[in-house]
Amino acid sequence: MSYQLLKPAKLPPGTQWKNTTVLERPLSYMLKRSRRKSIGLRISDEGLILTAPHWATSQHIQQALDTKATWIFSKLEERLKRLQQQAMSHTVWQEGGQLPYLGVTITLQLNPLLKQSVYAGELNQPSHEDRLCLHLPPDADSQRIQDLCHSWLQQQAKRDFAIRLSYFLEKSGYQTRFNQWRLGSPAKRWGSCSSQGNIMLNWRLIHFAPAIIDYVIAHEVAHLKEMNHSPAFWQEVERLLPTFYTARQQLKQFDPASLPLFE
């Protein structure tokens, strides 16, 4: 499979587009120079980003790519499957790009005349015809678009999760055991609940249908009673959300790092 991807219409500031060959396979990547002491690699929705110190030569960079070739191609395979699964594409962070929100795919629209982001549709019942209108010019670089999407999605997550958390806390009767909650973005967890009654919910859940969000919130609220995953715990989850099993099985297909937004 070729990883010689299309060059974005506008590269992030300070980056260069590079094409090379690794293990006899074409590979495209974005090169960014920095003051770091070693060469670093990461995979974003746009592909491979290589950050190198100013002293690193082309030979040093190629050697790093060759050394990490297995990891690179493995992660790029995962990225491709993820983007296909989420109905995403390499053009997501631009005018007309698509983004999953509450279980449906909405379209991005850029409009410099707007003073703030505007959702064109029903926020609580989104449809595939809905648009997220961002106050950016049509030629805005992908990083600015991504940052603005981050901000908007986190605002929605904070609002929606608070409402659902309040519902399940009232249903559970454990309000006195609950202390506080916050949004988080861990790479390996959808949520957590501490023995002090502090609940964390991964804001990337906002990409999923409400039934999946409800399952994660009910799961963490159940931990206020059972700090384990014993049969008693799952009985409590079922009491709070009788239909939890289907959502649980759907969520098993994903991990937090597999979703469209990374940083």
Please state the rounded mean pLDDT for residues 139-145.
86
Largest CA distance in the chain: 63
Please state the rounded mean pLDDT for residues 75-83.
74
210 contacts 157 by C-beta, under 8 angstroms? no
pLDDT in tens, 186-227: 878 899 999 999 999 999 999 999 999 999 999 999 999 999
| Residue 10: pLDDT band with limits 50, 70, 90 | low
> Hey, what CATH topology would domain 156-258 get?
Zincin-like (3.30.2010)
Instruction: Determine phi and psi for 254, rounding to 5 degrees.
Output: -125, 160
CATH 3.30.2010.10, the chain: domain bounds? 156-258
Instruction: State what percent of residues in the chain have pLDDT above 90.
Output: 60
Instruction: Determine phi and psi for 259, rounding to 5 degrees.
Output: -85, 165
The pLDDT value given to residue 251? 85
State the pTM of this model.
0.66
The pLDDT value given to residue 262? 30
* Upper half-sphere CA count for residue 98 (Cβ side, 13 Å): 16
| Residue 3: pLDDT band with limits 50, 70, 90 | low
- Residues whose CB falls within 8 Å of the CB of residue 242, separated by 6 or more in sequence, listed in order: none
- DSSP per-residue string spanning 220-237: HHHTTT-SS-SHHHHHHH
Which has more confidence, 142 or 61? 61
Q: Is residue 232 predicted with pLDDT exceeding 90?
A: yes
β-partners of residue 116 are none
76 contacts 47 by C-beta, under 8 angstroms? yes
The pLDDT value given to residue 143? 84
161 contacts 205 by C-beta, under 8 angstroms? yes
